[in-house]
Amino acid sequence: MPESYYAKLRRRLHEPAERFPAVLARSRLRIRDPEGAYTSCVDIAPLGGTDDVAFVHKLIKEVGVSAIPGSSFHSPAELGRTRIRFMFAKREETLHQAGERLRKLKKG
């Protein structure tokens, strides 16, 4: 493939990484800026989150947004209990809608 193909692909994949932290910043979740990946780790403690699995279930059921429990990435699992991970290699409209839904999260 020509270099122009790869340049366009890099831009298309890099843009969500630049936008997603701003989307989450409007919610009350604390995000770590992504470092070259298409996922971002978020601290759920400010919302009273102490059980990442239960928090993800609540997100899906009540907010309509999915995430990955942080304990999946830690050993021992307890180290990730107040973290969740979002994957943001999505269309801009999808990220915007997720951000709007996440803004409605309440503590507890």
Residue 35: per-residue pLDDT: 63
Q: Is 56 exposed, middle or buried (0-12, 13-18, 19+ CB in 10 A)?
A: buried
Domains of the chain: 3-102 (3.90.1150.10)
Question: Does pLDDT of 54 surpass 90?
Answer: yes
Residue 30: per-residue pLDDT: 67
pLDDT digits (tens, 9 = 90+) for 86-102: 887 788 888 888 888 88
Q: In the numeric block, which tokens belong to residue 35?
A: 């470092």
Per-residue DSSP letters for 41-99? EEE-GGGT---HHHHHHHIIIII----EEGGGG-SSGGGGTTEEEEE--S-HHHHHHHH
Question: pTM score, two decimals?
Answer: 0.77
